[in-house]
Each structure stands twice: as C-alpha cells, then as structure tokens.
Structure 1
Amino acid sequence: MFGLIGHLTSLEHAQSVARELGYPEYADQGLDFWCSAPPQIVDTIRVKSATGQEIEGRYVESCFLPEMLATRRIKAATRKVINAMAHAQKNGINITALGGFSSIIFENFNLAQIKQVRNVMLEFERFTTGNTHTAYILCRQVEQASRQLGINLSDATVAVCGATGDIGSAVCRWLNTRADVAELLLIARNQERLQALQDELGRGKIQGLEEALPQADIIVWVASMPKGVEIDPTQLKQPCLLIDGGYPKNLGTKIQHPGVTVLNGGIVEHSLDIDWKIMSIVNMDVPARQLFACFAESMLLEFEKLHTNFSWGRNRITVEKMEQIGEASVRHGFRPLLLPNPN
C-alpha cells in the first residue's frame, strides 16, 4: 500500500476543505487549532496501471499550513510532518511520498535525527520525497512544451531559478547531459552552492534574477518567491515558456502577458481515471487524471514493489535515477502535463 502526505495552501483553504470532507469541528477554527490538530487519513485511493496492475493507497492530511512558517511556528510545522509520517507507518503504509512543503521541512530542519515518535520507531526507508520523479517530469516538460511553442532547445537559453535545490540541481544535470540546450543560466541565493554546481556541470552562467530572466527563452522556477520580488512580464522574451515548479502554483495568475506562457510544472496526467477525491480539493483541472509528480512517485514505487526511499537527502538525484523512475512512469501510464492543444 502507498501513501501520500500532503497539506493545504492556506488557513482559509483548510477550513473550506474540512467542511467539504465532513470535519465540521475543524472548519471554523483558527491557526492555533490547526497547530495542535493531529494528522488524519482522509482518502482511500485506487490506481490502475496501464499494465493492468491495481494498487491501493491512503492520503494523510498533515494539518500543516504555510502560515505556520510565516508566523514562526516552526516547532508546530516540524511536528506536523513527523507526526504524519508516524501516522502513515502506524497504518501499515509501505511507501509514502512527502508532498509540498513536507519534504522541504523534513530536510531543512534535519528531521532525520528524530528516530522515534511516541511509540513508533520511524523506518525512513518507508518514505520518499518524490523529488526524482518531479525533476524528471519538469525536464520532460521543458523538452516537450518548448516544441509546442516552436522554441528550439539547441538555440535556447534556459534559466533555472532555484538551481542549487534538490530538484533544481537535478534539472540542471539533466539539461546538461540529456538535452541539447544552448545556454544554461543558474540562479540561486547561495553563491557558494552555485559555484559548486557550476564546477560540477562544467558549464552554466551564474547570474542574478533581474539579469537572467530577460535573456531566457525558458524559465524553470523551482524556488520560493522572495518577499518583495515580482517578475515584470514585459521584460521577458516573447515567446517565453515559464514552468512553475513551486507550490502553491501561482505564477499563472501573477504573470499574464501575450507571448509569455506559464505551465504548471511537476504535474503528471494518468492515462486512466484514479478513484479518489483529494485532487479536486487542490484544484487540479482534471482531478481524476492529474496529480503532483512527487505523489506519483510513491505510486510508481508501489507498482514496482520498490519499497525504499528512492528520493532522499539533498542534491543526491542522479540522471540515471531520473531515467529509472521515468521509465516506470511511462510504463504505468503517466505523462507530463503539457500545454492545451490550440485546436
């Protein structure tokens, strides 16, 4: 059995979803209540592979909200993630994906040092961040959506914003070795990590955001948006493909300009309907078919009987592992979300 640990995008979103899922005691509560709310299994999921194989899973709502980080409730945020992991393990889930901020919190606050939660001794091999599959899907979106827009990769400049993160660095490795990209721009806040990445790749220009974006034919955004920073779409190339790999995905509403195309990054479509209700709650356009690639990784590992932390730690994703999970993704009927067909 596979599991998905997720969270909602805001307090207001959480309250509305609680009402919809039949948890009225959560629906009218403020942030302090959510800080103390325990994790809940709120959905049973059934997925059929393109091969005919069928699996079952559970969605674990962590009750984490992004406002907890914004209001410096760090202990509450970390407790949410580790408690949700313990809840998944206690319920016999073999492999669970940490979705959204869950994996970021786990790694940034070094939660791997916590071995036990109450009476549960955590078995970390039961969990995966899903970042390898996410990175693979982002790269395939670069390759395929650029073709849809008539952008030739061999002539294109690709800017990766968040290049030194787990997903960003993996995207850079793929673009460096598996895609014929003319120019690679590396954007991140930590200059030391940027230099190390450039040395590893043997290429790529280290640039700031304002300098890099106007040069880019394709922008892969896998970073949080710093406070006070806004992208001026009039300064971008036309055409420009902007792949929004963040969560929550909001660049499509912030950047609306002729010639600038925003694609929701790290999203896959399944070839068959999935029996669940949770994706309609997170506002997927086709909730029976579309989902986050990190969630799909735990499904793929269950299909393949690879009950292991396939994605784990920071900057350990190799191109070979991206290819391995990519082959499984194709085999079981997943494909990258692309631009709508104009016809």
Structure 2
Amino acid sequence: MFGLIGHLTSLEHAQKVAKQLGYPEYHEQGLDFWCSAPPQIVDEIKVTSLTGETITGKYVESCFLPEMLTQRRIKAAIRKILNAMAQAQKANIDITALGGFSSIVFENFNLQNNRQVRNVELDFRRFTTGNTHTAYIICQQVVQGAQQIGIDISQATIAVCGATGDIGSGVCRWLNTNTAVKNLLLVARNQERLDTLQSELGRGKILPMDEALSQADIVVWVASLPKGVEISAEALKKPCLIIDGGYPKNFDSQVQHPEIAILKGGIVEHSLDIEWKIMELVNMETPNRQLFACFAEAMILEFEKWYTNFSWGRNEITVTKMDQIGEASRKHGFQPLLLLDK
C-alpha cells in the first residue's frame, strides 16, 4: 500500500476543505487550533496501471499550513510532518510520499535526527520526497512544452530559478546531460551552492533573478517566490515558456500575455481515472486524472514494488535515477501535463 502526506495552501483553504470533508470542529478555527490539530487519514485511493494492475493507498492530511513557517510556529510545523509520518507508518503503509512543503521542512530542519515520534520509531526507508519524479516531469515539460510553442531548445536560453535546490539541481543535471540547450542560467540565493553546481555541471551562468528572466526563452521556477516580489510580463522575453513548479502555483495570476505560455510544473496526468477525492479539494482542473508528480512517485514505487526511499537527501538526484523513474512512469500511464492545444 502507498501513502501520500499532503497539506493545504492556506488557513482559509484548510477551513473550506474541513467543511467539505465533514470536520465541523476544524471549520471555524484559527491558526492556533490548526497548530495543535493531529494528522488525519482522509481519503482512500485506488489506481490502475496501463499494465492492468490495481493498487490502493491512503491520503494523510498533515494539518500543516504554510503560515506555520515562522519563527514562532516552526516547532508546530516540524511536529506536523513527523506526526504525519508516524501516522502513515502506524497504518502499515509501505511507501509514502512527502508532498509540498512536507519534504522541504523535513530536509531543511534535519528531521532525520528525530527518528522517535512518541511510541513509533520511524523507518525512513518507507518515505520518499518524490522529488526525482518531479524533476523528471519538469524536464519533460521543458522539452515538450518548447516544441509546442516553437522554441528550438538547441538555440534556447533556460533560466532555472531555485537551481541549487533538490529539484532545481536535478533539472539542471538532466538538461545538461540530455539536451543541447544553448545557455543555462543559474539563479539562487546561496552563492557557495551556485558555485558548486556550476563547477559540477561544467557550465551555466550565474545571474541575479531580474537579469536571468529578461534573457530566458524558458523559465523553470522551482523556488519559493519571495514575499512581496511580483513577476511582470514586461520583465520577460517574448515569446517565453514558464514552467511554474512552485506550490501553490502563482504565475497564472501574475503574468498574462499572449506570447507567454505558462505550464503548471510538476503536474502529471494519468491515462485512467483515479478513485479519490483529494485532488478535487486542491482544485485540480481534472481531479480524477491530474496529480502532483511527487505523489505519483509513491504510486510508481508501489506498482514496481520498489519499497525504498527512492528520493532522499538534499541535492542527490541523479540523471540515472530520473530516467529510471521516468521509464516506470510512462509504463504505468503517467505523462507530463502540457499546454492546451492552440
């Protein structure tokens, strides 16, 4: 059995979903209440592969909210993720994906040092961040999305914003190995990590965000958007393809221009209907077919019986593992979300 640990995008969103799911005690409560709310298994899932095999899973709502990522409430955020992992393990789930901010909190705060959660000793082999599959899908969106709008990738400049993160660095490695992209621009806040990545790749130009965006034919956004920062259409090259790999997605509302195409990065479509309700609650356009690639990784691992932390650790995504999970992804009916036909 596979598991998915997720969270909602805001307090307002959480209150709305609590009402929909029939949790009246959560519906009108404020952030302090949510900081103490325990994780809940709120969905049973059934997925059928193109091979004909069917698997089942559970969705664990961590009750974590992005508003908890403050100095005052960070301990609550950490507790949420660890408690959700313990809940999944107690439910005898074989492999569980940490979705959204769950994996970021886990890695940034070294939660691997917190193996004991009350009476549960976490077995980290049962958990995956899902970042390898996410990085692979974003790379496919770059290549196939560019073809859709007529960008020649061999003549293109690609800016990766968040290049030194787990997903961003994997995207850079894959593009550097598997495409003939003309220019690769590396954007991130940590200069030391940028220098290390540039040295590893043997190429790539390090630029501030504004300069990179003005030069890029394709923008891969896998960073958190700094508070108060907005990206305008005027700052971008035309035509331009944006792969918005952030969560929640925010470029659709900020950038609207006929020569700028925006793809929801890290989203996959399954060939067959999935029996669940959670993707409707997070406002997927086709909730019985579309899902986050990190969640799909747990499903793929279950289909393949690869019960291991396939994606784990910071900046350890390799091109070999991306291609491995990509092959299995296609086998079981997952494909990258692309642009609507023009």
Q: TM-score range by the shorter chain?
A: over 0.9
What TM-score, normalized by structure 1, do the two folds share?
0.99
The code of the aligned residue for 1:328 comes to A
- Whole-angstrom distance in 1 between the partners of 2:168 and 2:235: 23
Task: Name structure 1 gaps, 5 residues minimum.
Answer: none
The code of the aligned residue for 1:156 comes to A
Q: Is the 8 A contact 1:45 1:275 kept in 2?
A: yes
Give the aligned CA root-mean-square deviation in angstroms: 0.7
Name the residue aligned to 2:254: 254
Q: 1:1-343 residue pairs with structure 2 within 5 A? A: 1-70=1-70, 72-342=72-342
1:185-210 C-alpha deviation (Å, 9 max, x unpaired) = 00000000000000000000000001
- Whole-angstrom distance in 1 between the partners of 2:70 and 2:250: 17
Query: Which stretch shows the higher mean deviation, 329-338 or 256-265?
Result: 256-265
Give runs of ≥4 in structure 1 deviating > 6 Å: none
The code of the aligned residue for 1:51 comes to T
The code of the aligned residue for 1:268 comes to V
- Whole-angstrom distance in 1 between the partners of 2:110 and 2:45: 30
- Whole-angstrom distance in 1 between the partners of 2:257 and 2:229: 18
Residue 245 of structure 1 deviates from its aligned partner by: 0.3
SS in 2 for 1:213: helix
- Whole-angstrom distance in 2 between the partners of 1:144 and 1:258: 19
- Whole-angstrom distance in 2 between the partners of 1:329 and 1:238: 33
The code of the aligned residue for 2:106 comes to F
1:261-283 C-alpha deviation (Å, 9 max, x unpaired) = 11100000000000000000000
SS in 2 for 1:34: helix
Distance 1:99 1:72, change over 3 A: same
Residue 227 of structure 1 deviates from its aligned partner by: 2.2
Residue 179 of structure 1 deviates from its aligned partner by: 1.1
The code of the aligned residue for 1:24 comes to P
Residue 35 of structure 1 deviates from its aligned partner by: 0.3
The code of the aligned residue for 2:83 comes to N
Residue 71 of structure 1 deviates from its aligned partner by: 6.5
The code of the aligned residue for 1:4 comes to L
- Aligned-pair identity in percent equals 73
- Whole-angstrom distance in 2 between the partners of 1:144 and 1:286: 20
- Whole-angstrom distance in 2 between the partners of 1:119 and 1:235: 53
Residue 70 of structure 1 deviates from its aligned partner by: 4.0
- Whole-angstrom distance in 2 between the partners of 1:71 and 1:150: 46
What TM-score, normalized by structure 2, do the two folds share?
0.99
Residue 304 of structure 1 deviates from its aligned partner by: 0.2
Q: Is the 8 A contact 2:162 2:188 kept in 1?
A: yes
- Whole-angstrom distance in 1 between the partners of 2:309 and 2:190: 27
The code of the aligned residue for 2:306 comes to L
- Whole-angstrom distance in 2 between the partners of 1:305 and 1:265: 27
SS in 2 for 1:158: strand
The code of the aligned residue for 1:103 comes to S
Q: Is the 8 A contact 1:234 1:257 kept in 2?
A: no
1:53-108 C-alpha deviation (Å, 9 max, x unpaired) = 00000000000001111463000000000000000000000000000000000000
Residue 134 of structure 1 deviates from its aligned partner by: 0.1
How many pairs are equivalent? 342
